[in-house]
Amino acid sequence: MEANRTKSDLRFIKTYLLFVLILSAARINAQTIKGTFAIQNIESKKDLRPKDPRYSDSINLVSYKHNNWKCETWDFIHLEADAYQLKNLYSGKTFQALVNPEEGSALWHRDLVAGQKNQSWEFLKQAYGYYIIRLKDTELYLTISSSKT
Protein backbone atom coordinates (compact mmCIF):
# COMPACT_ATOMS: atom_id res chain seq x y z
CA MET A 1 0.00 0.00 0.00
CA GLU A 2 2.78 2.45 0.83
CA ALA A 3 4.07 2.22 -2.76
CA ASN A 4 0.80 3.76 -4.01
CA ARG A 5 1.33 7.09 -2.25
CA THR A 6 0.88 10.30 -4.19
CA LYS A 7 2.97 13.43 -3.94
CA SER A 8 0.17 15.03 -1.93
CA ASP A 9 0.28 12.55 0.95
CA LEU A 10 0.22 13.89 4.46
CA ARG A 11 3.21 12.89 6.52
CA PHE A 12 4.97 13.47 9.77
CA ILE A 13 7.89 15.84 10.02
CA LYS A 14 9.81 17.24 12.94
CA THR A 15 9.17 20.81 11.81
CA TYR A 16 5.72 22.11 11.15
CA LEU A 17 3.45 24.07 8.90
CA LEU A 18 0.48 25.95 10.23
CA PHE A 19 -3.07 24.75 9.78
CA VAL A 20 -6.28 26.69 10.15
CA LEU A 21 -9.61 25.21 11.15
CA ILE A 22 -12.45 26.24 8.87
CA LEU A 23 -15.59 26.70 10.87
CA SER A 24 -18.48 24.40 10.02
CA ALA A 25 -21.11 24.77 12.73
CA ALA A 26 -18.51 24.79 15.48
CA ARG A 27 -17.25 26.75 18.45
CA ILE A 28 -13.73 27.42 19.69
CA ASN A 29 -13.16 28.90 23.10
CA ALA A 30 -10.00 29.44 25.11
CA GLN A 31 -10.19 25.92 26.51
CA THR A 32 -11.61 23.44 24.02
CA ILE A 33 -12.32 23.05 20.29
CA LYS A 34 -15.90 21.82 19.86
CA GLY A 35 -17.71 20.95 16.68
CA THR A 36 -16.83 20.05 13.12
CA PHE A 37 -14.14 21.63 10.96
CA ALA A 38 -12.24 21.29 7.73
CA ILE A 39 -8.50 21.28 8.48
CA GLN A 40 -6.69 23.48 5.98
CA ASN A 41 -2.96 23.98 5.49
CA ILE A 42 -2.47 27.74 5.35
CA GLU A 43 0.43 27.55 2.89
CA SER A 44 -1.26 25.36 0.26
CA LYS A 45 -4.85 26.44 1.08
CA LYS A 46 -5.88 22.77 0.79
CA ASP A 47 -7.86 20.60 3.20
CA LEU A 48 -7.06 17.27 4.82
CA ARG A 49 -9.22 14.41 3.48
CA PRO A 50 -9.10 10.70 2.57
CA LYS A 51 -7.77 10.25 -0.98
CA ASP A 52 -10.85 8.34 -2.11
CA PRO A 53 -13.59 8.94 0.46
CA ARG A 54 -14.82 5.40 0.96
CA TYR A 55 -15.08 3.36 4.11
CA SER A 56 -11.93 1.29 3.46
CA ASP A 57 -8.85 1.33 5.72
CA SER A 58 -6.47 1.14 2.75
CA ILE A 59 -6.74 4.82 1.81
CA ASN A 60 -4.07 7.40 2.47
CA LEU A 61 -4.78 11.03 3.29
CA VAL A 62 -4.20 13.85 0.85
CA SER A 63 -4.58 17.60 0.63
CA TYR A 64 -7.41 18.79 -1.61
CA LYS A 65 -8.93 22.12 -2.65
CA HIS A 66 -11.57 23.28 -0.20
CA ASN A 67 -15.15 22.13 -0.75
CA ASN A 68 -18.04 21.93 1.65
CA TRP A 69 -17.91 18.12 1.68
CA LYS A 70 -18.33 15.71 4.60
CA CYS A 71 -15.11 13.91 3.57
CA GLU A 72 -13.19 17.16 4.28
CA THR A 73 -14.89 17.73 7.62
CA TRP A 74 -13.70 16.36 10.96
CA ASP A 75 -15.51 16.06 14.28
CA PHE A 76 -13.22 16.98 17.17
CA ILE A 77 -13.47 14.50 20.06
CA HIS A 78 -11.84 16.15 23.06
CA LEU A 79 -9.52 13.91 25.10
CA GLU A 80 -7.69 16.31 27.42
CA ALA A 81 -6.04 19.75 27.32
CA ASP A 82 -5.15 20.33 23.63
CA ALA A 83 -5.55 16.65 22.61
CA TYR A 84 -8.26 15.33 20.29
CA GLN A 85 -9.25 12.37 18.21
CA LEU A 86 -10.64 13.30 14.80
CA LYS A 87 -13.62 11.57 13.23
CA ASN A 88 -14.29 12.07 9.52
CA LEU A 89 -17.95 12.99 8.99
CA TYR A 90 -18.27 10.98 5.79
CA SER A 91 -16.61 7.71 6.81
CA GLY A 92 -16.70 7.82 10.62
CA LYS A 93 -12.98 6.95 10.56
CA THR A 94 -9.81 8.74 11.63
CA PHE A 95 -6.18 8.65 10.47
CA GLN A 96 -2.88 7.30 11.76
CA ALA A 97 0.47 5.92 10.63
CA LEU A 98 0.25 2.20 9.72
CA VAL A 99 3.33 1.30 11.72
CA ASN A 100 5.28 2.98 14.49
CA PRO A 101 5.10 6.68 13.69
CA GLU A 102 8.37 8.25 12.59
CA GLU A 103 9.47 11.18 10.48
CA GLY A 104 8.28 10.64 6.89
CA SER A 105 5.51 8.18 7.80
CA ALA A 106 2.40 8.47 5.64
CA LEU A 107 -1.01 8.73 7.27
CA TRP A 108 -3.84 6.33 6.49
CA HIS A 109 -7.61 6.22 6.94
CA ARG A 110 -8.34 3.83 9.85
CA ASP A 111 -11.11 2.79 12.23
CA LEU A 112 -11.45 5.14 15.17
CA VAL A 113 -10.43 3.38 18.40
CA ALA A 114 -11.18 5.30 21.59
CA GLY A 115 -8.01 6.19 23.47
CA GLN A 116 -5.61 4.78 20.86
CA LYS A 117 -2.38 6.73 21.30
CA ASN A 118 -1.38 7.00 17.62
CA GLN A 119 -4.81 8.51 16.85
CA SER A 120 -4.48 11.35 19.37
CA TRP A 121 -3.54 14.78 18.05
CA GLU A 122 -2.53 17.95 19.86
CA PHE A 123 -3.78 21.20 18.33
CA LEU A 124 -1.30 23.80 19.53
CA LYS A 125 -2.70 27.29 19.03
CA GLN A 126 -0.45 29.86 17.37
CA ALA A 127 -0.91 33.51 16.45
CA TYR A 128 -3.83 34.63 14.26
CA GLY A 129 -5.97 31.56 15.11
CA TYR A 130 -3.64 29.10 13.40
CA TYR A 131 -2.65 25.73 14.83
CA ILE A 132 0.20 23.29 14.52
CA ILE A 133 -0.89 19.67 14.74
CA ARG A 134 1.33 17.24 16.62
CA LEU A 135 0.93 13.54 17.29
CA LYS A 136 0.30 13.45 21.04
CA ASP A 137 3.37 12.84 23.22
CA THR A 138 5.80 13.04 20.27
CA GLU A 139 7.75 15.65 18.35
CA LEU A 140 6.08 14.60 15.07
CA TYR A 141 4.02 17.27 13.32
CA LEU A 142 1.43 16.90 10.58
CA THR A 143 2.40 18.39 7.23
CA ILE A 144 1.97 17.81 3.52
CA SER A 145 4.71 16.50 1.25
CA SER A 146 3.54 18.60 -1.73
CA SER A 147 1.02 21.31 -2.54
CA LYS A 148 -0.23 19.26 -5.51
CA THR A 149 -3.38 17.11 -5.33
pLDDT tens-digit series, residues 11-30: 544 444 556 665 443 445 44
Q: b/e string for 6-17 if b means 16 or more Cβ within 10 A?
A: eebbbbbbeebb
Write down the pLDDT at residue 15.
46
Mean pLDDT over the full length of the chain? 78
pTM value is 0.78
Q: What is the pLDDT of residues 67-96, one digit of tens each?
A: 889 999 999 999 999 999 999 999 999 988
DSSP letter, residue 9: B
Q: CA 97, CA 80: separation in Å to the nearest integer? A: 21
Query: CB 115: neighbour CB atoms within 10 A?
Result: 8
pLDDT class of 119 with cuts at 50, 70, 90: very high
Q: What is the pLDDT of residues 53-70, one digit of tens each?
A: 666 676 788 888 998 899
Q: What are phi and psi of 72, to 5 degrees?
A: -105, 5
Q: What percent of the chain has pLDDT over 70?
A: 72
Whether the pLDDT of residue 9 is over 80: the answer is no
